[in-house]
Every structure is written in C-alpha cells, then in structure tokens.
A and B are shown apart, each in its own frame.
Chain A
C-alpha cells in the first residue's frame, strides 16, 4: 500500500492554487510533475559537478562522466536489459523513433519492403515511418483497432509478408489506455525474423518492464513522462542491432579517429550520441528511476489500477458520457466526451476550477477518425493522484454539464 500523502508531499507543484482552487492534475500522459528529489538532483549537478562528459580528464569531468554512466546502468536495470551498452540516451521518444527510422531504416528498408504499425499509434510512431516509406518506396501497413480499443491482432498474420522488415507498435495507447499484446506480436514477428519496436512512452511509468522477457528488438521512452526532466529519452536496442546500424548524426563524442581522409566511429552506444547530451536531464532520469524503485513499480501499478477502476465507475454514473475503448487490459488513461459539449469548452471550464486535463486529438488523429470524433477529453494518472482528485474531476464535469443546460 503506498502512502499517497507522503508521495504528494514530494511534489512541490501540487500545493499550488490554480484560479483559487487546489490543483487537480490529471494530464500526466502529457508530462508528469517532478518530485523534489529529482529537482534537487538537477540543482546538485549544476552546483557541484557540472562538466561535459566523456571529454575532460579533470576531476569534475570524471565525476560527471561517472554519474552519467551510472544512469545508463540504472536504466538498464530498470527495463532489465542485458547490457548497459544497449541503452542510448536521446532527447525523447520522438528522437528515439526517428533515430531508428533514419539509421535502421536507411540501412535495412528498401524499395518494396513493408513496415507494420497500428491504428492506435501516436503521430511520433506514424510520421517517421510514413516519410521513410515515401523516401524508400516502401509500404506502410496498419493493424486496425476494434471499437473496444483493442487491436485486431488476428489480422497480423495476414498483414505480414516476406517483405515485412519491421513492426512498430505502442505498448499503451496514449488515447485509449489499452495495453497491447506486445509479447504475442513479438513472438509472431520473430517466428518470421521480423524485428519489433515497442513505443513505451505511456507504459514505463505504469507497468513493470522486462525487455529481455519481451524479447523486443527496440524499446523507447521519454524521461519527462516518468518524473524526470524534459529533454531526455531512451532508446534500448539489442546489441546486435546497435552494432549493425550506422550512426544517424555525426559530430563530437561519437568518433574513435578522425582524419580528412577517413573517420571511424566510437563503440556502441556512443556512436549514437553525437554532440553534448542533456546531461542534467540524464542525471534527473537516474534520480526519477531511484524514486520509482523506492516506491516499487508494482505498488504504483496497484495504486493506479485502483484509481482507474474508481474513475471508470464514477464516470459511468454521469449522464450523456461516451467513454472510448474498454479494453480488458488498460492503464493510465481514459478518454471520453460529454454529449453536445465540445471537449475544448469542457476543459476550459475545468481549468477555471483548477482541474488540468487534456482536450484535442492527443497527437493520434487516426484514433479520432476511428471513433468519428474531432477530439476528446483525456484523463491520465500518476502516482500522486488520489480518489479526491477524481471526485474533484467528477464535480467539475457535472458543473460543465450544468452550465451547458
């Protein structure tokens, strides 16, 4: 059982009043707030250690490099990767996916090849593949979704051909909260030697991860959605892929030898980390993982599952509400609309009451098209959310409905 009051007290922003009301923050899929421990780690870094990493051999340079690399180790343990060299630091999920599209895609996708994604992807897991396919003359194929928000996974076998070179799918839908059957997809794909990329931007903060058990080839997520600073992300890839893939950008810190005739590149993972990384954000990611480990991701999962059920039950009591998707396995997110009320209007009124939720298409327009809507209200949870937050939300939604009567 987690101590919600103790956890809330770790997040200074939650004590803020918004328009005179207590803040009810339920837009955690967009970004989570940061505990004091994470905020302190950023200040500490600049106060005592600031230096570029993997360059200076002076004291501060060494200290910063040790701290930076210890985070790689922590990330490795957090997602249960085999080796820390399989962890590449990026600026976020978007860059991680673009890295794979520009590197793996450049080397291994050719004219006539096929890439499979799903109908429930975030634009970040659609557009890089769409552009790659356009450039290469390859084909993008889509696993459709059922109305209950699950994937039509039985279609996968018929979508796979001998030209399929990659399957890229989300672990958790950023609109519907559906947990997709990634393990089944990976098993099917591997039986045909097709690598699989998992977009875990909405998964790592909610459910325990074991990339070796999943056996995925690529696994990506963002730091800022998991209580760390913005501007850091992770690309996990099996070592064999990182060895086989060319760098996607070139510059300092990623070479082993440079002359005007020829340049050779550094070892994995450094050949994918050209230029100075977002060092303080990486440090903050290490602290965020420590923070999560101290609470325990399984405890977090239990708490958030309970909150999800509570929210679902409470929302279902409202008249004139349509909830999108009802997958048996879901986490973190619920999307809905109120009859005859524009999601944008609803969210503006909620904001006046100090309730932060998201409206719009959530960077997933194909999901909106599937349900024939131009947007929705989205509620998303984090460890610090309580049943009181949900009660506040329900009160706010009733007020929205009242004002529209």
Chain B
C-alpha cells in the first residue's frame, strides 16, 4: 500500500472533523462539486456513463505514464463533491495501489451515515468502476 493514499485519506478525515453537522458537510461537498473541473462535453457519452447511480455519472480513465488519471462528471453537485474526494485520493496513483486501496475515509468522515443507502450504493459503484479500470490497466512496473 502506497503511503500517499493513506496520507490523503488522513488529510480528508482531518478536514471533515472540523465540520460540525451534516449541513456543513453537505455544503462542503457542494463546494467541492462546484470546484471539480468540468468534464469535456464529448466525454459525456453513453460509453462513459455509469449505471447504478440515481444521478448521471460519467467516468473516463487515461494512462499517464505509469499512473492513471480519472476524469469524472455528474449532473449532481453532491455526487460531484463525493467524486472529487475519491479523485483526490485515487487520481494519479499507480494501478496496483488503486486496486489495493482501503478507502476507510468514506466511513470515517460519516458519508455512510449521512447519505441515503441508494447514494452509498451509487458511491460504491463509482469506486468499483475506478478499481476495475485499474485492474485491467497495463501492469506497469514502478
């Protein structure tokens, strides 16, 4: 396990510990959602669209050198906010580390308890897609 992934998770947990209630957490997610770089309209294709989410989500992965860069978009700001957290942890990492990442921050920052079950499923489905891409990505030696 790459230390870097867990360091970022700890950073996020630290940030969320300063947010008092769910209002603040949601507001923070909305702000993160707004700041997520907009995805090129061309990438919002049927091919890149994920099923299993109540809001629309598009995911595209690209190999950059030895690492993977994910591009994600959603029509929901809260979903975008959650995605932006995922990307902060998993973007630009080695495929092997992405596959092995234990994303404990999701539980620690209370997303599981603050989201509806359908939304948690949606989030997990995005994680699954991110990991499954890393699994099939060319196995590059570090």
Interface residues of chain A, those whose CB is within 8 Å of chain B, are 19, 341-342, 344-345, 348-349, 351-352, 359-360, 374, 403-404
Please measure, in the bound complex, the distance between the C-alpha atom of A171 and the C-alpha atom of B79, giving whole angstroms. 36
Which of A351, A359, A360, A374 lies in contact with B75, CB distance below 8 A?
A374
Asked if A342 contacts B55 (CB within 8 A), the reply is: yes
Contact with A along B104-138 (1 / 0, CB 8 A): 00000000001110010000000000000000000
Distance of A341 Cα from B33 Cα, bound (Å)? 12
A348 touches B119 (CB 8 A): yes
User: Given A342-B77, A374-B56, A374-B75, are A348 and B116 also a contact pair (CB < 8 Å)?
Assistant: yes
Q: In the docked arrangement, what's the CA distance between A19 and B115, Å?
A: 12
Known contacts: A351-B116, A360-B54. The answer to whether A345 contacts B22 by CB under 8 A is no
If the complex has contacts A342-B75, A344-B76, A374-B75, are A349 and B26 also in contact, measured as CB distance less than 8 A? yes
**B78 contacts chain A at the CB level, 8 A cutoff:** yes
Most chain B beta-carbon neighbours within 10 Å: one of A345, A349, A351, A374: A345
Q: Is B86 an interface residue (CB 8 A)?
A: no
Contact among A342, A352, A359 for B22, CB-based, below 8 A: A352
CA distance A73 to B135 in the complex (A): 63
B26 contact set on A, CB distance < 8 A: 348-349, 352, 403
The residues of A that contact B76 with a CB separation of less than 8 Å are 342, 344-345
Q: Which of B22, B23, B55 contacts A344 (CB 8 A)?
A: B55
A403 to chain B: closest residue by CB? B27
CB-CB < 8 A to A351: which residues of B? 116
Given A342-B76, A345-B76, A345-B78: A404 and B30 interface contact (C-beta under 8 Å): yes
Residues of B within 8 A of A (CB): 22-23, 26-27, 30, 54-56, 75-79, 114-116, 119
Sample of 14 further A-B pairs with CB below 8 A, known A344-B54, A345-B79, A349-B26: A19-B22, A341-B77, A342-B55, A342-B79, A345-B55, A345-B76, A345-B77, A348-B78, A352-B26, A359-B54, A360-B54, A374-B75, A404-B30, A404-B77
B21 to chain A, nearest CB (A): 9
Cα-based distance from A374 to B56 in the complex (angstroms): 9
A-B contact pairs, 23 of them (CB 8 A): A19-B22, A341-B77, A342-B55, A342-B77, A344-B54, A344-B55, A344-B76, A344-B79, A345-B55, A345-B77, A345-B79, A348-B78, A348-B115, A348-B119, A349-B26, A352-B22, A359-B54, A374-B56, A403-B23, A403-B27, A403-B30, A404-B30, A404-B77
Cβ–Cβ < 8 Å partners of A360 in chain B: 54
Distance of B41 from chain A, by nearest CB (Å): 16
Task: Collect the chain A residues with CB atoms within 8 Å of residue B78's CB.
Answer: 342, 344-345, 348
Q: Which chain A residue has the least Cβ–Cβ distance from B119?
A: A348
Chain A nearest Cβ from B133, distance in angstroms = 25
Whole-angstrom distance between the alpha carbons of A404 and B22 in the complex? 14
| Interface-central residue, A342, A351, A360, by most chain B CB under 10 Å | A342
In the complex, how many angstroms separate the beta carbon of B84 from the nearest chain A beta carbon?
14
Which residues of chain A come closer than 8 Å to B116, judged between CB atoms?
A: 348, 351
In the complex, residue of chain A having the shortest beta-carbon distance to the beta carbon of B54: A344
CA distance A352 to B113 in the complex (A): 11
Residues of B within 8 A of A344 (CB): 54-55, 76, 78-79
Min CB distance B24 to A, Å, is 10
Q: Which residue of B lies closest to A351 (CB)?
A: B116
> Which residue of B has the minimal Cβ distance to A19?
B22
Shortest Cβ distance from A396 into chain B, in angstroms?
Answer: 12
